Amino acid sequence: MELALLKTLLNKDFYEQHKGIRCPDNIFSKDVRKLKQALDSAMEVYDTDLTVQDLHAVFQAQNQSMTTATKSAYDDLFRKIDKAEPIKPEIAEDVLSSMFQQYVGDQVANIGFEFVNGTKTTLEPLRRLLEDYKDDFTPNLRIEWNDISIDTLLTANDLETQWKFNIPTLRRKVEGVSGGHLLLVGARPNTGKTSFHASLVAGPDGWAKQGAKCIILCNEESYERVGARYLCAATNMTMDEVRANISLARSRYEPVRQNIRIKDSTNKDMRWVEAVVKHEKPDIVILDMGDKFATKSSDKSDIYLKDAAIHARNIAKQYKCCVVWMSQLSAVAEGKVFVDQSMMEGSKTGKAAEADLMILISKNPVVEGAEEQDTQRHLNIAKNKLKGGYCGVIHTELDGGRSIYTS
């Protein structure tokens, strides 16, 4: 590791940031220490990055009286340095700090040993040692402050709604989502949750058609059933219509399908989700159902669901994607048109606290004896930290056969 660190110190900027008291020669082993001394002298003369060959030449010039055996040993050491992979600056800082603290710790131990054995009669050397190094026990803190110039903030604001909603009434109120956002969607069973994300992703002018790379991780319904909803939404056709005109269906489906990936994710957790996102680099991630990706680390569902929601939000921010977390509403919401976050199943506030946008879907109470199924769906915008900040109810229609929401 010290050879790789020495190679990193050949970078002039890194060397200048860490030279002196934070990088004394004595933190290196005896042989490498001499190379470090040659590096120090070279950096005083040459105001540039050095190569291993440069350092080798300086070292040989300073040590011309070496025996053949010694020269051969150092030549071998330089070959090892040349083959060593340089360390990333942030990792090199931690390595250097660890070596430095070990060096100071050894000095402290030696002073303590000499005091205990009577060689030293005072701990004044220890006090001076700690005083000398009091500000140098932790790695250098280098903060790259965020750019808050007008141009940067205007650009960020424009990207706040990179992926537009394709439901006109929803788009007028909320407009869209972007990378870094966590969208929480809740509804009672058989309300149209799967059709909702299928419509947003694959429906007319949906996210996939806009160019977003979308992955759907489903752990409730089979991937075939979820895929069928996406097929219907993408083609704007029922399954019977698809069977009747496969060529038309294929011409509508293929341009959308290339931006959609579906994976059966039964018994997977959030760590697996993060690994998939890291590998695939999507723009949109659908978790259906989000709650089932949570690891039950506690007897209390609100605790482990909140932890999972925090993980989902971190994934959205770190990998610059929008995570759409599908969730159930509790039985309290059954038959109600107006629903709120207190009706979230398992976690009334934990998941909601992490969401940038919360859409709760409801439908009209079932009317006994009604001949036709009610297609009206109410989108309750229960929380909105995005553009405009609108909260309220948006009325839509669900075409269940085609899995498409319309105004």
Taking each helix axis from N to C terminus, what angle separates 223-235 and 246-257, rounded to the nearest 10 degrees? 100
pLDDT given at position 142:
57
Mean pLDDT by 10 residues, the chain (407 residues): 82 80 74 86 85 89 88 88 82 76 77 79 74 54 77 79 93 93 95 96 96 96 95 97 96 95 95 95 96 87 90 95 96 90 85 94 80 85 90 95 95
C-beta atoms surrounding 171 within 10 Å: 16
- Looking at the fold, whether 319 and 267 belong to one and the same domain comes out as yes
> What pLDDT shows up at residue 147?
87
Answer yes or no: do 173 and 306 share one domain: yes
Residues 93 and 187 in one domain: no
Residue 211 host element (H or E): none
- Whether 82 is in a domain gets the answer yes
For residues 181 and 112, state if they share a domain: no
Is the domain of 83 the same as that of 126?
yes
Q: How many CA atoms lie within 13 A of 22 on its CB side?
A: 20
Residue 209 located in a structural domain: yes
Strands (E), 21-169: 163-164
The residues pairing with 260 across neighbouring beta strands, listed in sequence order, are: 214
Q: What share of the chain is helix, strand, coil (3-state, %, to 5)?
A: 50, 15, 35
- Residue 297: per-residue pLDDT: 79
Q: How far is CA 330 from CA 221, 249, 323, 326, 364, in A?
A: 19, 37, 22, 13, 16
Of the three residues 100, 133, 166, the one that is the final residue of a domain is 133
359 and 292 inside one domain: yes
CA distance 272 to 334: 33
What are the residues facing 149 on neighbouring strands?
none
- Let me know whether 175 and 113 are in one domain: no
Q: Does some domain include residue 145?
A: no
Q: Which domain holds residue 297?
A: 155-406
The pLDDT tens digits for 43-72 are: 888 878 889 898 898 888 888 888 988 889
What is the DSSP code string of 39-79?
HHHHHHH--S---HHHHHHHHHHH-TT--HHHHHHHHHHHH
Q: Specify the number of domains making up the chain.
A: 2
Q: Which residue, chain included where needed, has tokens 């759907």?
A: 216
* Whole-angstrom distance, CA of residue 217 vs CA of residue 377: 24
| 141 within some domain | no
Kindly provide the b/e burial profile for residues 285-301, where b requires at least 16 CB atoms within 10 angstroms of the residue's own CB.
Answer: bbbbbbbbbbeeeeeee
How many CA atoms are closer than 13 Å to the CA of 345, on its beta-carbon side? 18
Number of neighbouring beta carbons within 10 Å of residue 183 = 23
Q: Do 274 and 363 belong together in one domain?
A: yes
Same-domain pairing of 368 and 253: yes
Secondary structure (DSSP) of 316-360: HHHTT-EEEEEEEBPGGGTT-SS--GGGBSS-SSHHHHH-SEEEE
| Six token digits for residue 383 | 């929380």
Residues 205 and 72 grouped into a single domain: no
Domain assignment present for residue 31? The answer is yes
